């Protein structure tokens, strides 16, 4: 082989390797790019730019048995989690995971739709595209056998401009909280706290500072939320009985009932 042909061959190989590197994430980058706490961030770790390609990402949860869309879960039941992305590109990808309030993987994820897969990343399970697609994927999630408080589905994605490099793409992310049902709270054997005063007209106080606080009505709807507090205003509530579900400093789920009068 003469020098000219050698250089042409070397150039061709180099272009091929660069193209392979550029397209290497088409089957998914691996790891955890869900945007969840403790993850490696989102797809922006590789895809740059501030392009506006009309992208968005929406997460839904459907009870497999009833086929109804839900915002809470029941222990042991199976749900179909849908990831739907908008945008003008025909090449989109995503990462998703389901975590409890301590940011640990919870439940079982399997049965991914065509063009996607599930795999372990540390203590978490990740659902991911393995082929760039139009932006619609599904996987099944089976809730844990016992209630663990709120769980959050984190999802991040990229809308590619399909120019065969990582610039000029749009990165999107979202999350969906599934609350524990009142029935699970009633039967939960974890620590039960006392709130004071009880009954109360305008404010309740907790015996310690709590995190991820929810005030839940008797029909299972979350009425009030606080990230962290030792006291909480309830002036806006209608008279009646309510539950509070939260986590203490040790990360354990605690709950109690109170009456607004």
- CA–CA gap between residue 216 and residue 181 (Å, rounded): 9
Region for 28 from its dihedrals, namely left if φ exceeds 0, alpha if ψ lies in -120 to 50, beta otherwise: left
Contact criterion met (CB below 8 Å) for 69 and 103: no
Strand partners for 58? 84
pLDDT tens per residue across span 188-240: 444 455 788 999 999 999 989 998 888 888 766 788 989 899 999 999 999 99
Sign of CA dihedral 108, 171, 27, 136: positive
Between 148 and 66, the more confident residue is 66
pLDDT at 107: 96
Q: What is the DSSP letter of 139?
A: E
pLDDT at 168: 61
Between 216 and 253, the more confident residue is 216
Q: What is the mean pLDDT of residues 43-59?
A: 70
- CA–CA gap between residue 128 and residue 32 (Å, rounded): 9
- CA–CA gap between residue 194 and residue 258 (Å, rounded): 9
pLDDT tens per residue across span 98-108: 999 889 999 99
Other CB atoms within 10 Å distance of the CB of residue 234: 17
pLDDT at 84: 94
Strand partners for 120? 125
Winning range, highest mean pLDDT, from 14-18, 118-122, 163-167: 118-122
Q: Which domains, ranges and CATH numbers included, belong to the chain?
A: 24-180 (2.60.40.4060), 183-260 (2.60.40.3080)
Structure tokens given for 254: 């605690």
Strand partners for 78? 142
Residue 30 in this model has a pLDDT that exceeds 80:
no
Helix (H, G, I), strand (E, B) or coil at 123: coil
pLDDT at 12: 41
Question: Where are any strands of DSSP class E within the chain?
Answer: 56-63, 78-86, 92-100, 108-110, 116-121, 124-129, 136-142, 151-159, 170-178, 203-217, 222-233, 240-247, 253-260
**Least trusted range by pLDDT, from 32-46, 76-90, 131-145, 182-196:** 182-196
Alpha carbon 220 to its chain centroid, in Å, reads 21
pLDDT at 186: 52
Residue 164 in this model has a pLDDT that exceeds 60:
yes
Q: In what order do the strands lie in the sheet with 92-100?
A: 116-121, 124-129, 92-100, 151-159, 170-178
Between 69 and 45, the more confident residue is 69
pLDDT at 120: 95
pLDDT tens per residue across span 117-145: 999 999 999 999 998 888 899 999 999 98
Other CB atoms within 10 Å distance of the CB of residue 69: 12
Contact criterion met (CB below 8 Å) for 88 and 53: yes
């Amino acid at each position: 082989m003469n020098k000219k042909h050698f250089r042409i061959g070397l150039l061709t190989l180099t272009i091929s390797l660069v193209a392979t590197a550029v397209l290497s994430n088409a089957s998914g980058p691996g790891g955890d790019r869900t945007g969840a706490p403790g993850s490696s961030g989102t797809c922006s770790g590789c895809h740059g730019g501030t392009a506006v390609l009309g992208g968005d990402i929406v997460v839904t949860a459907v009870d497999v048995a009833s086929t109804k869309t839900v915002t809470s879960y029941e222990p042991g039941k199976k749900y179909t989690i849908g990831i739907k992305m908008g945008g003008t590109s025909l090449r989109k990808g995503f990462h998703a995971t389901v975590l409890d309030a301590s940011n640990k993987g919870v439940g079982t994820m399997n049965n991914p739709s065509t063009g996607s897969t599930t795999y372990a990343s540390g203590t978490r399970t990740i659902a991911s595209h393995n082929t760039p697609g139009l932006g619609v994927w599904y996987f099944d999630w089976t809730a844990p056998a016992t209630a663990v408080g709120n769980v959050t589905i984190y999802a991040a994605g990229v809308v590619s401009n399909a120019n065969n490099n990582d610039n000029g793409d749009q990165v999107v992310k979202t999350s969906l909280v599934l609350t524990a049902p009142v029935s699970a709270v009633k039967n939960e054997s974890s620590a039960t706290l006392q709130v004071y005063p009880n009954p109360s007209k305008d404010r309740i106080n907790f015996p310690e500072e709590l995190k991820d606080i929810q005030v839940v009505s008797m029909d299972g709807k979350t009425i009030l939320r606080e990230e962290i507090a030792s006291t909480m205003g309830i002036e806006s509530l209608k008279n009646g009985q309510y539950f509070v579900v939260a986590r203490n400093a040790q990360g354990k789920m605690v709950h109690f009932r109170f009456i607004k009068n």
